[in-house]
Amino acid sequence: MLTVVIPTLDSERPLVATLAALIPAAAAGVVSQVVICDGGSGDDTLAIADELGCDIVSAPRGRGPQLAAGARAARHPWILFLHSDTVLDEGWHREVAHFIERTGESDDRDRRAAVFRFALDDYGIGARFLETIVQLRCLLFALPYGDQGLLISRRHYESLGGFRPIPLMEDIDLVRRIGRRGLVYLRARAVTSAARYRHEGYVRRMARNAGCLTLFFLRVPPRLITRIYG
């Protein structure tokens, strides 16, 4: 039913937990393939992926090119794009299966994609504040980020032109083409690592993210935005 596509780059530390959350879905027959699209890892990322039975493809470094390469390797009618440091809530696959059943891959009139609820693996007030900001951003502007995952039929993905080969903001670029009416927000959470926020400080990282988003909408080339994002 479903291929999970995960871009990686030196992702050995978070990848095990991300893949472990997929095991119940595989046992239930919801996930039938996991594709690791790697941008040139120098750690044990590929060894972990191989040990756990993932398909591995290589791609030029950058989430856009890597995600596009992973999608080309997908064998199933539905694709779930997921970041390597994002762990899905227990039972997520039941909600996904229900969404797929309701949507129906063969129904041309109902082309929808789904994202998860954003959460961070941190207990501080900064994490709760950021989660609220993301919820408001999705409500007001229909702009979920890639760390919320993206579930989409392969046919719909291809009809939209897929991920473009840009190193950053590939998620925003695609969800804008999906459109507000084409997005469904699932109840299950996608819990992402807060390591960057803890390291840099929540205020600083949030300001940087907002600045990069503004530059993207001002049509600044993504390769220049990448230097700011870090």
2-195 is classed in which CATH architecture? Alpha-Beta Complex (3.90)
pLDDT in tens, 14-37: 999 999 999 999 999 999 999 999
pLDDT in tens, 195-216: 999 999 999 999 988 999 999 9
DSSP one-letter string for 9-69: SS-HHHHHHHHHTTHHHHHTTSEEEEEEEES---SSHHHHHHHTT-EEEE--SSHHHHHHH
- Predicted pLDDT of residue 222: 84
In the Cβ-directed half-sphere of 81, how many Cα atoms lie within 13 Å?
30
CB 151 within 8 A of CB 96: yes
Q: Smallest Cα–Cα separation from 83: which of 30, 36, 153, 131?
A: 36
Is the pLDDT confidence value at 168 over 90?
A: no
Query: CA 181 to CA 37: how far, in whole Å?
Result: 29
pLDDT in tens, 169-205: 999 999 999 999 999 999 999 999 999 999 999 999 9
Residue with tokens 């109902």, as numbered in its chain:
110
Q: Are strands 150-153 and 78-81 parallel, antiparallel or unpaired?
A: antiparallel
pTM, entire model: 0.94
